[in-house]
Structure 1
Amino acid sequence: QITEQTIAGALDTAAYPDPDLIVRTSGEQRLSNFLLWQASYAELWFPEVLWPDFTEADFDRAMEEYARRDRRFGLVK
């Protein structure tokens, strides 16, 4: 039987927890098929900076932005 658990268990990332935050640099507001299954409840952040220029300050901004989020895990208010 195919279930959500059997699919998740067959993925290369099965041993790792799903991400809470995905940072996509360059300002592109898309995932480009990156972790599609695992990203279902992840928060997304799209800074304009390119990856080679991503600094510790940018990382800190991502963490601050994430801390302000009201995570609903798919629920609608």
Structure 2
Amino acid sequence: MPDPDLVIRTSGEHRTSGFLPWQTVYSELFFTDVFWPEFSKEEFTRIIEEFKVRERRHGK
């Protein structure tokens, strides 16, 4: 399984709490204030659209 390209953290917390530290070293992190129970398809689509225009530097 490849490493994730994108990690979405809900609830407005700007930390990953050690979540997959080696697998996410080059992942794009996205933090949203929306709590998980309210996380919608529209919020997911908005995040994906923003991810598509980010310049990925892969640690450079």
Q: Tell me which residue corresponds to 2:37.
A: 52
Q: Tell me which residue corresponds to 1:25.
A: 10
Instruction: Deviation per CA, 1:13-42: give whole Å up to 9, x if none.
Output: xxx110000000001011111111100000
Give the structure with higher Rg (CA).
Answer: 1
Moved over 2 A (4+): none
TM-score by structure 1 length? 0.76
Amino acid paired to 1:35: L
TM-score by structure 2 length? 0.96
Q: In structure 2, how many angstroms separate the alpha carbons of the residues matched to 1:66 and 1:34? A: 20
Gaps of 5+ in 1: 1-15
Q: Percent identity?
A: 53
The answer to which structure has the higher strand fraction is 2
Gaps of 5+ in 2: none
1:62 aligns with 2:20: no
